[in-house]
Homo-oligomer: A and B are copies of this chain.
Amino acid sequence: MQKLELNEDRFFDAEPSIRKNAREIYSSICNLPIISPHGHVDPNLFVENKPFTNPTELFLIPDHYVFRMFYSQGIPLENLGIPTADGSPVETDPRKIWQIFAENFYLFRGTPSGVWLDYEFNKVFGIEEKLVGGNAQKIYDELNEKLHTKEFLPRNLFDSFNIKVLTTTDTATDPLEAHRKIRESGWQGNVIPSFRPDSVTDLNNPSWNENIKILGKLTEKEITGYKQYIAALENRREYFKSLGATSTDHGLEIPYMARITEQEAEKIFQKALAGKSDAADAKIFTAHMIMEMGRMSCEDGLVMMVHAGCLRNHNKYILKKFGPDKGADIPVQAEYVRNMQEFLNAYGNDPRMTVIVFTLDESVYSRELAPFAGHYPAMKLGPAWWFHDSIEGMTRYRQLMTETGGFYNTVGFIDDTRAFVSIPARHDVARRIDSNFLGNLVARHIISMDEALKIAYELTNGLVKKSFKFNI
């Protein structure tokens, strides 16, 4: 068996002077707390604080980054135990699934999923062999045993991971029971919600009418018109804030933003209530509601995150059989300059506003987003996101963004993960890549080591606190 060892210099440039600089910078930030301003961890983990079921349920089933790679090589999702939407049967033996996982683990060579999983196995669970078919069941046993010890309960991991803030993503219609219970439990872990209203602002959402009804119930006022709808959203934002929220989150295929009159909005809203709105209505209504979200943010101080450039559920077979979030979301070209002009003209100069933009279309990093961030005071650049949350992806991000946008118009690392146990792995990679990038600048005499150390702190803790208004 091959040993699983994480080299202390991993991901650093091979050139000795860069590596030496990277080490020095990394050592100054590696023990800083984790601040996670955006992600998809289930807050119920910390209410219930129950052990994770088994290694397969922990590492594979919920992580579409992982199982999409197996699917791409022809392994049916049924064999991996991914639950079907239509209830048709799938493999239920976690050990059989784990065996497939182990035998195909080589597919992750050179990928971030491979890097994260190796970290989790070794640094979190103390596994000392590379996972292969031959040791699959032995490693399953080792993992499973640890999972059922007290040390590996979610709250204890939260503490040992040194997490200072963990932000979840919650729909506008979420009653936030879990967050309320966490607060009431007396546990000191700082788990906060963020406000994601897509399901009530996107008229294409098949449950939109139902969601509006829930929104009405939660705000104790039936919603029969646009004004009540706006009031309900404002009301929910206040409730989110009362449970610690400092931000909102918006997922868009295209970052189109444009205001319509209240009369027009009311008209489309009524059409939608009657189930008669069409795609054109949905497009302009979403564009308008982003403007409204901008207005509300100026008023209530919630920071906006805009995730754009993704066509969801490209594979209809998978959507129908397994539902959404199964690895078939594919990035598309995104245009920001014209699409965001009205928004930035309305709110981009407003000192009360912070809008953080992410993309999956790297061609806009240096062309559109860095120039935006280097000009508009309200605009900040989100980090290398999703597929680009990787060694090369983060390096390209820094190379393409820094010279035009500047380090100080970025917001630090964001893990954006559903996989709680992967959080320290992901932050560690980000800290190493930033250290290496800065170490390379020092080696080329572009900045001094003293400057590099200051920037490294900002990229790790300083900017995220400031941008997301965390008073910690």
Contact = CB atoms under 8 A, between A and B. Distances in A.
A138 interface: no
A388 to B, nearest CB: 7
A379 B71 CA distance: 11
A446 B10 contact: yes
A436 B443 CA distance: 14
Nearest to A395: B399
Interface in A393-418: 393, 396, 399-400, 402-404, 406-409
Given A345-B317, A348-B315, A330 B368 contact: yes
Interface in A186-220: none
A371 B330 contact: yes
Nearest to A319: B345
B73 A377 contact: yes
B375 A387 contact: no
Contact of A444 (B11, B317, B328, B329): B11
A2 B448 contact: yes
Contacts of A391: 403, 444, 446
A447 B332 contact: no
Interface in A341-385: 341, 344-345, 348-349, 351, 360-363, 366-368, 370-377, 379
A345 to B, nearest CB: 5
A323 to B, nearest CB: 15
Nearest to A316: B345
Contact of A69 (B318, B344, B345, B374): B374
Contacts of A311: 337-338
A327 interface: yes
A135 interface: no
A36 interface: no
Given A72-B406, A332-B338, A367 B363 contact: yes
A331 interface: yes
B409 A72 contact: yes
Interface stretch (A48-56, A110-118, A231-239, A267-275): A110-118
A99 interface: no
Interface in A418-472: 440-441, 443-448, 450-451, 454-455
Interface of A: 2, 6-7, 9-15, 17-18, 68-69, 71-74, 106-112, 115, 311, 314-318, 327-333, 335, 337-338, 341, 344-345, 348-349, 351, 360-363, 366-368, 370-377, 379, 387-388, 390-393, 396, 399-400, 402-404, 406-409, 440-441, 443-448, 450-451, 454-455
16 contacts: A2-B450, A7-B445, A10-B446, A14-B17, A72-B379, A109-B406, A110-B446, A112-B403, A328-B375, A330-B371, A332-B368, A333-B335, A366-B387, A390-B404, A391-B444, A396-B399
Counting from the closest, the 5 A-B pairs by CB-CB distance are: A14-B443, A7-B445, A10-B445, A390-B403, A363-B363
